[in-house]
Every structure is written in structure tokens, then in C-alpha cells.
Chains A and B, each alone.
Chain A
Amino acid sequence: MRILIVEDEPDLLASLAQALREEGYAVDTADNGEDGLFNAEGTDYDAIVLDVMLPGIDGWEILKRLRKTKKTPVLMLTARDQTRDRVKGLDTGADDYVVKPFDLEEVYARLRAIIRRGANKTTNVIEIGEVKVDTAARLVSLKDKPVELTAREYSLVEFMALHRGEVVTRTQLYEHLFDENESSLSNLLDVHVSNVRKKLGAEFIATRRGHGYCIEG
């Protein structure tokens, strides 16, 4: 899951980015409106965390322009807890909002929710054969026994599960699992896929030669 955070307060941006990385997301950051809009339009993020007050182009404007080309789920960070602002945000195309100051747990939950809705899933638990993926608890179980996955491995499983039945290309996987600062060594992805197969069964992820990977079902 790859996320973009657009926030101009450096300490807030840094802590949010680190917290979300530790949650297993691939995180890109932008500290002004122009960069934020550029990134948002250029990459298929799974979600965007967007501050309203930004130098350059403000959050509303980014949202308005982004909505012309992309349906990326957007979580707005607003400082004003006023109905008018919330309505404006939701009407402009925001998927949800949190009011500053917020708790990280709330940001996590709302992010999960908008990502799930973006993938047209209504529940937190995705069942694929004997494998269950609980996106709220970020847990994967095989035959009702929890399976230990690294954060990156979990992200891989979650992304594949949210796109089950589709062929997911390696490029897509790179885009959603790694942020812009990570070197995209191709064998890194192979390592993760191989580890997941070891833990959940070789047939869990099928390889489509020349296309990518797929979870059947």
C-alpha cells in the first residue's frame, strides 16, 4: 500500500510518514501544494493524506484538480472543526477527514477504511481458500492459525488480496509496496513473493509469465 502525505509542518510530516511506514505502508511525502499535486497526479497511490492549509496551492485546490484525473482515496487533515469545512471537503471529493489534533490510531483506521472502500471491499476480512486476511488487525491466518509476516510481506498479501482475480504487474507491485526513496531492485520483490509462498502455500500466489502475479479465486 503506497500513500502520499502532503503536509507543510515538517515535524508533523516526519512523524506521520514514519508512523505510517512502521504500519507497513510505502510513504511518499510533499511539503507544499505544487509538489503534492504533481506526485498525486503522477502516481497511483492507494490513498493520500492531504492537509488543507498549504503554501502554494491549498488542499481544496489540489483535491479539485486531482479529481479531474484520479479517484485516489483522499483523507483530509483539517484544523477547523466546523461543519462548513467538512461539508466542503466531502463535497469537493474528499473521502474522509480527521481534525487536528488527531490520534494516530484514528488516522490508521480511517486510512484502512478509505483504502478498503477504494478497492470496493466492505469488510475487513478477505477469505481466500483457507487464508484469511484481516485488514483491520493486519493479520493473516492459514487454517485459522495466525501466520507471522513482515510488514512488507503483509502489504504484498493485502494488495494482492484486494485485487484478487486480477493480474497484478510487477510495476504495480513496485509502485504500491515501495516508496520513491527505495531502490527498486527487482529481486527484492521476488524475495517477498517467495517468502509469502513459503508461509501460505506455493499455490497462494500464481505467476503469470510475462505479466505478473495473481491470486485466483
Chain B
Amino acid sequence: MKLFKSIKWRLQLWYGLILVVVLAGFGFTSYQLERNRQFRHIDDEIHRRAGVLGNVLHRPPPRGPDGGGPDGGDQSFDRPPRGQFPEDGPPGRNFPPRTQFHLPEQDTHLFDASDPNGFYFSILGRDGKLIASSTNLPTLFDIYAGFSEGHDEAPAGAPPDSRAKGPGSLPVRTIGDFRETLQSLPSGEQILVGCSMVPELNELHRTKLTLTGVGLLVLLVGLAGGWWFVSRALRPIQEISATAVKISSGDLAQRINVAEAESELGQLAAVLNSTFARLETAFTQQKQFASDAAHELRTPVSVILTQTQMALGRDRDAAGYKQTVEACQRAAQRMRKLIESLLELARFDAGQEMLKRLPFDLANNVKDCIELVQTLAEERHVKIISELSPLPITGDSERIAQVVTNLLTNAIQYNNPDGEVRVKLESQGNLAVLTIADTGKGIAAEDLPRVFERFYRADKSRTGAGNSGLGLSICKAIVEAHGGAIEATSVSSTGTTFAVRLPTNVG
């Protein structure tokens, strides 16, 4: 039963069935038309002959042997002397009954007795007695039975007017392999003309065989072609499923081989491929993220392990233990900060971070942030130069302050001593543009596009407690949640500039 659930087999079955029905209908109709044609032809022939015989019977029998020789009229009707019947009277029963009949010479070719399949006739008198017959008359049948008007054997497919055709629409019958017509003359005689249909039936049989053969051939070709076509059409599905199986078993790098990009399945495959690619990217990022997060935890855990193992290695005084506990605390706090950052990012990723949408002055916000980092700047001998004019925007002021503080801290930490940080806020159409430029050593061009990546550090070793490697990622997440954009540009040994663009009217 599995076979019938396969689309391929069901399609094959369905159009196989349709093909059979169409071919059978076509074949049957062709056969019937041919059969009708043959029968009509026979009927025409026997009617014609019946007509000829009828005409001969109508004609008054030739008087004397003037028809040609003493026995020249041996094929003419032997009738009573003409004088007995009015010559110009209507033919009919007022003729005396015939007793003899001779086929005229010129009509003998119509009934070739030597041909076993040729035409034959018999003529019955008014009293039902046989007057004359051709020598090849079969004697098998009841001579009157089975006649019907017109083409009694006409199939349903034959045109209805075919019955009306033929001379005089004489009754015909098919008896055995013979086709016969019976003509009753007004004078009471009856003429039966018939012929064997064996050649025609043979011909019809051949036609039947030919039609069946051609039909089977067409069916076979149709099925084979259909099989090929369906296989071809379904091949992408097999590829898709094979690829999907490999992907589900863990090989995310697999792609569907898109051979026919134009077909619907090709388009589907292309869509699936791009989905797979996105999934793989997301999965790789996720894996990288998890591995980076684990990596970040290695150092603080190392600190705790070595500190505690060292401290427990021998008895110590209170100061020694205190030192160890303090180091452990620092490590734990570093881990806490890391975990908080990770959770914050996870919330942004999941779209669960709820931002406030309140109007506030971005210039004031930035000013507060600058005050916050002023101490750090003084420690590092970095000067902060700001150029701010009021710029009202709508958004989450705390989150924006987090971004600004982070960028300012970076600008101070990565600056040269006696360097500068320039903060500028300006309005560009619907955007508030905040630029924070430092005079540090800059970020290398190959690192620049990656600075917003999680755990990416231009300087691989900056794993200090204050630097989780997630700060800029969080900045980016916050700015993008506001519908804004953040970018970094850098000139080597001149400094780095971070530009934050925020729509003034968020959401």
C-alpha cells in the first residue's frame, strides 16, 4: 500500500487511467466509424444490385428471341405473352405471376458466381416459390427472418441519417457472415440480394488489431514518458529530502544542489538553501557565543582554583587567607559582570528587553555621562571636549546613557595620555547624530568591522575585569532597539570615531 501513497505512483496511475480511457474511446469510435463505412458500402452495393434486379423484373419480358439469338434471351425473364398484360399499365399485381427469371447479359458482372465472397441473389414469386437464384446462394438461412428497416446493424455511433440513405431504404439483415437485403416488388415478387462480408470483416479485424496495437504503443510511450517526466520533476524533492536528512543529522553545511533554478521546485530549493544558510549562521554564532562565554569564564575560574588550592596547601595567617578571599571575590565579581552582560544581550536577542519611550534631552543626557567619566579621564590625563546643543528625542534615557558612558570609557581607556575625546551632538533631519572621537592609536582596518561582535577584542589580551568584550555588542543592541545605528571609523595612530545615529522620535 506504500506504493499508492507515493506521489509518483499516484500520478502515474492517474494519467495512465486517463490515457487508457481516451485511447479506448478514440479507438472504439474509429473502429465503429470504419465499420459503419464498410457496412454502408456493402449496403450500397447490395441495394444497387437489388435495384438492378428490381428494374429487370419491372421490365416486361422480351418477346421472342429478338433479344439476341435463339437463346439470347435465356437470361431474360420468361413472361407470358405481352398481349396478356397491358403494356403501359402500372407494374404490379396485374402482371401474371412470374415463373422464370434470367439475368440480362450486361448485369452478369454484378453477380460473379465464381467468387465465393461475391454477390448472390434469389427471387421469389408471389406465391413464395423460388423463381431464380444465383448459383452461389447460401442455403443456410430462413430467407425472410431478421430483416429490419435500413441499417439494422448500424452502431450507435453511426450518423442517424445513415438509415435514410441507400436506394429505397430497403430492409437489410446480417446473418452469419452475410449481409442481405430483401426487396418486395409491388408486383409481389421478392428479391433477396446478399454478399459475404468476410473480406470486410477481415479488414475490420485488422483495423481492430492495428488500433489496439497503436493504442498500446501510445499507452506505453505515454507511461514511459510520464514516468521519466515525473521522475525528473520529483528529483529535486528527493534531493531536498536527502539534504534535509543530512542537515537534521547535524551537517549544517549541506546545501541542495539547485539544478533547475526556474522550476517551482528550484525556487523552493533556493528558498530552503537560504534558510539553511541563515540557520547555519545563527547556529555557528550561537556556538561561537557559547564557546566564547565559556572561554571568558576560564580565567576567573583559574584564579579561584589556584588561589584556593594555594591557600589550602598549608596553614596560613589571617592576612594570607584574606588575600586569597579577596582575589576570589574579584574573580567572582568579574564572572558576575560577565553573566549580567550575557543575560542582557540574551534579553535583547529575544526581544524581551523593554525600552521606555519617553521624551528627554539627549544633550543633557550626554553631559551627565561626561561628568560620570570625568574622574577616569583625569586619572588618564585625557581631556574631554564637548559640543552639545539641546536635542530632544524619545527613547530610554538610561539605556542611551549606558551606551554613551560605554563609548566614553572606551575612548578614555584606549586613548594616549594627554589625549583628547571630542564629543559632538548634532541634528540631521530626523536623526540625532552623536560622535565620540578619541586620539588613541586607532583600530586596525581588519578589526574595525568586527568590533561590535561579541567577545571580539582588537587587542586579544585585554581581558581585564572592566572589559568583558561585550560592551560594544550591548551598545549596538541598545541603539538598534531604538531603531538607530552605530558605526566605527578609525584612522591608524590618529584615533577612532564612534558615531551613533538615533531617530529623534522613536516608535
Q: Which positions in A face B, CB cutoff 8 Å?
A: 8-9, 11-12, 14-16, 18-19, 22, 53-56, 58, 79-80, 99-105
Contact = CB atoms under 8 A, between A and B. Distances in A.
B459 A15 contact: no
Contacts of A8: 461, 463
B65 to A, nearest CB: 130
Nearest to A79: B298
A79 B295 CA distance: 6
A102 B324 CA distance: 17
Nearest to B304: A101
A79 B301 CA distance: 11
Interface in B319-340: 324, 327, 330-331
Contacts of B304: 101
A11 B327 contact: yes
Contacts of B459: 55
B333 to A, nearest CB: 11
A15 B327 CA distance: 9
A160 to B, nearest CB: 26
A49 to B, nearest CB: 11
23 contacts: A9-B463, A12-B302, A12-B303, A12-B306, A15-B303, A15-B306, A15-B307, A15-B310, A16-B310, A53-B463, A55-B459, A55-B461, A55-B462, A56-B461, A79-B295, A80-B295, A100-B298, A100-B299, A100-B302, A101-B299, A101-B305, A103-B305, A104-B313
Given A11-B330, A14-B327, A19-B310, A102 B460 contact: no
A44 to B, nearest CB: 26
Nearest to B295: A79
B305 A11 contact: no
Nearest to B459: A55
A12 B305 CA distance: 9
B309 A53 contact: no
A53 B302 CA distance: 14
Contact of B461 (A15, A54, A100): A54
Contacts of B461: 8, 53-56, 58
B316 to A, nearest CB: 10
- The 10 A-B residue pairs whose C-beta atoms are closest, nearest first, are A19-B310, A101-B301, A101-B302, A11-B327, A55-B461, A100-B298, A15-B306, A104-B309, A100-B302, A15-B307
Interface string B456-493: 00011111000000000000000000000000000000
A101 B300 CA distance: 8
Interface of B: 295, 298-299, 301-307, 309-310, 313-314, 324, 327, 330-331, 459-463
Contacts of A11: 303, 307, 327, 330-331
Contacts of B327: 11, 14-15
A94 to B, nearest CB: 18
B433 to A, nearest CB: 34
A18 B309 CA distance: 11
Q: Is the interface of A mostly helix, strand, loop or mixed?
A: loop
Given A11-B303, A15-B303, 14 more contacts: A11-B327, A12-B299, A19-B306, A19-B310, A53-B461, A55-B461, A58-B460, A79-B298, A80-B295, A101-B298, A101-B299, A101-B301, A101-B304, A103-B305
Contact of B310 (A18, A55, A58, A80): A18
A56 B302 CA distance: 22
A9 B461 CA distance: 10
Contacts of A54: 461
B406 to A, nearest CB: 21
A19 B313 contact: yes
Contacts of B330: 11
Given A15-B327, A53-B460, A55-B461, A9 B299 contact: yes
Nearest to B327: A11
A55 B464 CA distance: 11
Contacts of A101: 298-299, 301-302, 304-305
A18 B319 CA distance: 14
Nearest to B291: A80
A104 B327 CA distance: 16
B310 A22 contact: yes
Contacts of B295: 79-80
B323 to A, nearest CB: 8
Contacts of B301: 100-101
A22 B331 CA distance: 23
Contacts of B331: 11
Contacts of A18: 310
Contacts of A102: 302, 305-306
A56 to B, nearest CB: 8
A100 B463 CA distance: 14
Contacts of A100: 298-299, 301-302
A11 B332 CA distance: 12
A135 to B, nearest CB: 19
Contacts of B307: 11, 15
Nearest to A17: B310
A11 B330 CA distance: 9
Given A100-B298, A100-B301, A16 B460 contact: no
Nearest to B461: A55
B325 to A, nearest CB: 11
A103 B309 CA distance: 8
Nearest to A54: B461
A15 B298 CA distance: 16
B306 A104 contact: yes
A53 B295 CA distance: 12
Contacts of B463: 8-9, 53
Q: Quick one: which of B302, B314, B459 has the most chain A CB within 10 A?
A: B302
